Amino acid sequence: MNQKIDIKSLTLQELIEELKNRGEKPFRAKQMYEWMHVKCARSFEEMTNLSKNFREQCEEWYEYTSLQAVQVQESKLDGTKKFLFQLADGNVVESVWMKYKHGNSVCISSQVGCRMGCRFCASTLDGLERNLLPSEMLDQIYAITVLTGERVSNVVVMGTGEPMDNYDNVIRFLKLLTDENGLHISQRNVTVSTCGLVPRMRQLAEEKLQITLALSLHATTDEKRKNLMPIANRYSIAELMDACRYYFEQTGRRITFEYSLVGGVNDTDEDARELIELAKPLCCHINLIPVNPIKERDYVQSDMQRILSFKNKLEKNKINVTIRREMGRDIDGACGQLRRRHIEKSDL
Ligand code: SAH
């Protein structure tokens, strides 16, 4: 049997075409698109201005993804909420909702698990299970919009998974997310974070989107980076910097470097000096992240004094730098921790 079409992953144009082939007028497609992408409907059944007969037929014809929240944790420190969602096949993914002065931000997962193997990251400990569909990435944002009753204005693809390892689905997701007929989130309010798949970064540059590209750098020499991130065996820092320059040339968008500070590993004065050398020639912003220790590894956070002195050194060299606020520290804030605890519990 043919697999059913995943209807929420279609663009408006594709949906118009699809329903036309079923003998439906374009306005039906527009109504349905609005139910899915503006009103965040969780099923065909909710689409009450479409006939019951038509809704029932759609159920037969199409796949309609939707998520079940299986766990919600709220931080007492800053109101951050962490959601564990179950997908139709029983897999779980996590998403985070953060409230900032400038609006609400959601951090979504792009894959179930991850195969990149970064040493400090909990998402990768069990490897990659599967890619998420564009609809399943949208669903995380739509479900959170419904559950919180608040509009999402910023999206970061920084949860579990390597977005550049699920390239086509992520691009389609970005187009749907920022489409004027849908939730219409401004491209400038979307950030995609990568551990550095160079050919995909270049391809992304050529899409000429106005999104922010964040590169997880975490080390300033190839040798040190290889100890933290296996992907560094594939692409050198020189190649990464070239790809970042290319991204800026193509899009005019400033690059973000993420640099997780690990005590005694990448937080020395020498590291700061080398980071300055890398950052100076580029139009970039550096986000320092105090590493969030995970129990499976013995990495520790740099102490606050070290973090501040590191930041100071960069600032003195006129480099744009911020320390990432640790949101939801009390609720398994680090990538993949919540999902992992959930899986561990159900394995018992
Ligand atoms: N795969 C993408 C996005 C996911 S992780 C990437 O590698 O960029 C989002 C960011 O959090 C990355 O910079 C990642 O390296 C970092 N990160 C993962 N686990 C962490 C931890 N325990 N402490 C601090 N940063 C972590």
Alpha-carbon span 240 to 232, nearest angstrom = 10
- In this prediction, residues 70-87 reach a mean pLDDT of 94
Q: How far is ligand 1, taken at its centre, from the CA of residue 237, in Å? A: 17
- In this prediction, residues 280-286 reach a mean pLDDT of 95
* Six token digits for residue 202: 């270049």
Q: Which of 94, 136, 162, 258 is catalytic?
A: 94
Ligand 1 pocket, residue 193 CB under 6 Å: yes
Phi, psi torsion values for 286, nearest 5 degrees: -110, 130
Residue carrying structure tokens 């977005």: 163
Ligand 1 pocket, residue 314 CB under 6 Å: no
Mean pLDDT of the chain: 94
pLDDT > 60? residue 334 = no
Q: What is the pLDDT of residue 321?
A: 97
Ligand 1 pocket, residue 289 CB under 6 Å: yes
Work out which ligand 1 atom sits closest to the CA atom of 193: 8
Answer yes or no: 121 catalytic. Answer: no
pLDDT > 50? residue 1 = yes
Q: What is the pLDDT of residue 182?
A: 97
Please name the amino acid found at residue 32.
M
- In this prediction, residues 223-240 reach a mean pLDDT of 98
Please name the amino acid found at residue 72.
V
pLDDT > 50? residue 348 = no
Q: What is the pLDDT of residue 341?
A: 74
pLDDT > 50? residue 30 = yes
Domains of the chain listed by start with CATH number: 5-63 (1.10.150.530), 68-347 (3.20.20.70)
Q: How far is ligand 1, taken at its centre, from the CA of residue 127, in Å? A: 15
Least reliable range by pLDDT among 1-10, 253-262, 284-293, 330-339: 330-339
Q: How far is ligand 1, taken at its centre, from the CA of residue 26, in Å? A: 43
- In this prediction, residues 245-271 reach a mean pLDDT of 97
Answer yes or no: 335 catalytic. Answer: yes
pLDDT > 50? residue 303 = yes
3-state secondary structure of 123: helix
Residue carrying structure tokens 């560094």: 232
pTM value > 0.85: yes
Ligand 1 pocket, residue 257 CB under 6 Å: no
Q: What is the pLDDT of residue 102?
A: 86
pLDDT > 90? residue 339 = no
Which helix H or strand E contains 31, and what residues bound it? Answer: helix 26-37
Alpha-carbon span 299 to 136, nearest angstrom = 32
Ligand 1 pocket, residue 191 CB under 6 Å: no
Q: How far is ligand 1, taken at its centre, from the CA of residue 47, in Å? A: 38
pLDDT > 90? residue 328 = no
Q: How far is CA 71 from CA 129, 336, 342, in A?
A: 20, 14, 9
- Measured by CA distance, the residue closest to atom 24 of ligand 1 is 291
More confident residue, 259 or 344: 259
| Most informative mutation of 114, 119, 124, 158 for ligand 1 (most atoms within 8 A of CB) | 158
With a pLDDT cut of 70, the percent of the chain lying above it is 96
pLDDT > 70? residue 335 = no
Alpha-carbon span 225 to 240, nearest angstrom = 12
pLDDT > 70? residue 9 = yes
- Contact yes or no for 67/136 (Cβ under 8 A): yes
pLDDT > 90? residue 319 = yes
Q: How far is ligand 1, taken at its centre, from the CA of residue 335, in Å? A: 7
**Residue range 129-186, pLDDT digits in tens:** 999 999 999 999 999 999 999 999 999 999 999 999 999 999 999 999 999 999 999 9
